């Protein structure tokens, strides 16, 4: 029995939770964004095509071993829960591949922060090999920086699409140039627009990530308005928001401590999100709040038809009395509540009420308590 080994990076988008992770590069070639805690103190490197191909062969080998476990248990190579459970207890190193096959072996995410830096010929070869070895694959996606996308013309992006790449995830973060510059994102709003439009023109699916609260107190309005304007010009397939949280390892932490950047409160983030959504016009993107850091995860839907529904959820939150808003935030951040309707459920509400009273008793503000909780989710 061989030890099957292939390399994996630290992160993936939330929507790629069930995807096979295949590492193209290590870490981030830019690595300067102030808000970003990932890859700090890690050097960027490209993996050679041989290394990546060897990983694909290792995954093929792992898949064969998973099937052998199934056959040994009289299941004819089918990968069901029983096989996954057996592998979890007996061959944990095969678990990711087993789980991926159990889910149909359909989705792959190329790691780490900017795979499109690899030469188009190399990427094409890797994509073709992946699909040859796993014909079940339906979707292959990758992160890419807008700056890197600008180095690829539409024809090159089309080549990658034809080779099997389906979707690009871009960390847009903000469309406002002051915010982008302050945060050292290394791109402008115009770069984001050009890169996003190019991806769309090549026929690739595009997911743009926006950080709520990234303008802080100083630029919250400009951040909301300009980000909406940039998104309106791109019309991505997906808009995904996540709320800013600042762990000690991110360079922004020091700026917060020094008072050079003032974080928004939850309520101010919601005010900003409302302005952002109100300003989205003439696009048909799907909007998701699929990150645990977001307060109102049910603010999601298809633009423009669900826009009013999304805004009405925000209005409902804003119209709650102060103590109810605090309790909802507490319940959400402690994992009892997902949506405001959960507050009607006393099984969920009672522990939240107890924590709320304990905090009051100890003189701890809900804001301070939540600030600490938020860092757990990064
Ligand atoms: S946000 Fe993206 S581009 Fe910026 S440092 Fe982090 S991984 Fe790199």
The string of pLDDT tens digits covering residues 302-355 is 999 999 999 999 999 999 999 999 999 999 999 999 999 999 999 999 999 999
Residues 341, 301 within the same domain: no
Provide the CATH number for the domain around residue 308: 3.30.750.200
Mean pLDDT of 21-43: 93
Nearest CA to ligand 1 atom 1: 36
Q: Per-residue pLDDT for 227 more than 80? A: yes
Q: How far is the CA of 167 from the centre of ligand 1 (A)?
A: 18
Nearest CA to ligand 1 atom 8: 31
**What single-letter DSSP state applies at residue 127?**
H
Residues 300, 361 within the same domain: no
Is the CB–ligand 1 distance for residue 31 below 6 Å? Answer: yes
Residues 292, 350 within the same domain: no
Q: How far is the CA of 175 from the centre of ligand 1 (A)?
A: 16
pTM confidence score: 0.93
Among 286, 319, 352, the domain boundary falls at: 319
Check if the beta carbon of residue 170 is closer than 8 Å to that of residue 149. yes
Nearest CA to ligand 1 atom 6: 36
Is the CB–ligand 1 distance for residue 373 below 6 Å? Answer: no
Q: How far is the CA of 239 from the centre of ligand 1 (A)?
A: 18
Q: Examine residue 369 and state whether it is found in any structural domain, yes or no.
A: yes
Parallel, antiparallel, or unpaired for β 301-302 and 286-288? Answer: antiparallel
Q: Examine residue 134 and state whether it is found in any structural domain, yes or no.
A: no
Is the CB–ligand 1 distance for residue 28 below 6 Å? Answer: yes
Helix, strand, coil percentages (3-state) for the chain, rounded to 5, are: 50, 10, 35
So what's the pLDDT on residue 290?
87
Mean pLDDT of 117-127: 97
Q: Examine residue 264 and state whether it is found in any structural domain, yes or no.
A: yes
Nearest CA to ligand 1 atom 5: 31
Atom of ligand 1 nearest to the CA of 112: 7
Is the CB–ligand 1 distance for residue 113 below 6 Å? Answer: yes
More confident residue, 95 or 11: 95
So what's the pLDDT on residue 193?
98
Residues 288, 333 within the same domain: no
Q: How far apart are CA 290 and CA 315, in angstroms?
A: 20
Q: How far is the CA of 33 from the centre of ligand 1 (A)?
A: 6
Residues 100, 167 within the same domain: no
Is the CB–ligand 1 distance for residue 15 below 6 Å? Answer: no
- Which domain covers residue 310, as residue numbers? 144-319
Q: Examine residue 136 and state whether it is found in any structural domain, yes or no.
A: no
Residues 294, 369 within the same domain: no
Is the CB–ligand 1 distance for residue 30 below 6 Å? Answer: yes
Q: Examine residue 172 and state whether it is found in any structural domain, yes or no.
A: yes
Is the CB–ligand 1 distance for residue 171 below 6 Å? Answer: yes
CA angle centred on 239, ends 208 and 96, rounded to 5°: 70
Portion of the chain with pLDDT greater than 70, in percent:
98
b vs e for 265-291, b when ≥16 Cβ sit within 10 Å of the residue's Cβ? ebbbbbbbbbbbbeebeebebebbbbb
Mutate to test the pocket of ligand 1, among 10, 26, 28 (most ligand atoms within 8 A of CB): 28
Is the CB–ligand 1 distance for residue 36 below 6 Å? Answer: yes
Residues 123, 148 within the same domain: no
Q: Per-residue pLDDT for 377 more than 70? A: no
Radius of gyration of the chain (CA): 22
Specify the 3-state DSSP secondary structure of 222.
Answer: helix
Q: Examine residue 271 and state whether it is found in any structural domain, yes or no.
A: yes
Q: How far is the CA of 272 from the centre of ligand 1 (A)?
A: 23
Atom of ligand 1 nearest to the CA of 35: 1
Q: Per-residue pLDDT for 4 more than 80? A: no
Mean pLDDT of 128-152: 97
Residues 151, 234 within the same domain: yes
Average pLDDT in the chain: 95
Atom of ligand 1 nearest to the CA of 32: 5
* Structural domains in the chain (count): 3
Q: Examine residue 132 and state whether it is found in any structural domain, yes or no.
A: no
Q: How far is the CA of 156 from the centre of ligand 1 (A)?
A: 23
Residues 222, 363 within the same domain: no
Q: Examine residue 133 and state whether it is found in any structural domain, yes or no.
A: no
Residues 154, 281 within the same domain: yes
Q: How far is the CA of 47 from the centre of ligand 1 (A)?
A: 18
Q: How far is the CA of 97 from the centre of ligand 1 (A)?
A: 27
Among 73, 97, 127, the domain boundary falls at: 127
Specify the 3-state DSSP secondary structure of 172.
Answer: strand
Residues 106, 212 within the same domain: no
CA angle centred on 62, ends 59 and 66, rounded to 5°: 140
Is the CB–ligand 1 distance for residue 54 below 6 Å? Answer: no
Check if the beta carbon of residue 22 is closer than 8 Å to that of residue 111. yes
Residues 232, 370 within the same domain: no
Is the CB–ligand 1 distance for residue 145 below 6 Å? Answer: yes
């Amino acid at each position: 029995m061989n030890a099957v080994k292939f390399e994996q990076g630290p992160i993936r988008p939330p929507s790629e939770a069930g995807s096979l992770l295949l590492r193209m590069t290590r870490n981030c070639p830019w690595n300067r964004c102030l808000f970003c805690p990932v890859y700090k103190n890690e050097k960027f490197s490209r993996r050679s095509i041989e290394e990546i191909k060897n990983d694909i062969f290792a995954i093929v080998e792992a898949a064969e071993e998973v099937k052998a476990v199934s056959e040994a248990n009289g299941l004819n190579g089918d990968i069901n829960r029983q096989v996954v459970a057996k592998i979890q207890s007996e061959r944990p190193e095969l678990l990711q591949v087993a789980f991926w096959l159990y889910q149909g072996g359909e989705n792959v995410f190329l790691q780490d922060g900017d795979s499109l830096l690899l030469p188009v010929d190399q990427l094409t070869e890797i994509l073709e090999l992946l699909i040859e070895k796993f014909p079940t694959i339906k979707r292959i996606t990758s992160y890419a920086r807008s700056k890197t996308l600008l180095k690829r013309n539409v024809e090159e992006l089309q080549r990658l699409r034809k080779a099997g790449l389906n979707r690009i995830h871009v960390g847009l973060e903000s469309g406002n140039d002051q915010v982008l510059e302050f945060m050292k994102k290394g791109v402008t709003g115009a770069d984001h627009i050009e890169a996003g439009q190019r991806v769309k023109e090549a026929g690739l699916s595009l997911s743009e990530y926006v950080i709520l609260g990234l303008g802080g107190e100083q630029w919250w309005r400009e951040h909301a308005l300009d980000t909406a304007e940039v998104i309106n010009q791109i019309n991505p397939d997906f808009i995904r928001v996540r709320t800013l949280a600042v762990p000690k390892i991110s360079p922004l932490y020091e700026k917060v401590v020094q008072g050079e950047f003032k974080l928004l409160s939850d309520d101010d983030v919601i005010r900003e999100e409302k302005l952002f959504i109100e300003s989205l016009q003439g696009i048909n993107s799907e909007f998701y709040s699929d990150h645990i850091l977001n307060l109102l995860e049910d603010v999601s839907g298809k633009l423009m038809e669900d826009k009013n529904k999304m805004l009405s959820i925000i209005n409902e939150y804003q119209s709650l009395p102060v103590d109810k808003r605090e309790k909802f935030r507490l319940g959400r951040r402690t994992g009892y509540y997902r949506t405001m309707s959960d507050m009607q459920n006393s099984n969920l509400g009672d522990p939240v009420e107890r924590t709320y009273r304990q905090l009051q008793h100890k003189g701890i503000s809900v804001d301070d308590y939540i600030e600490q909780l938020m860092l757990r989710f990064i």
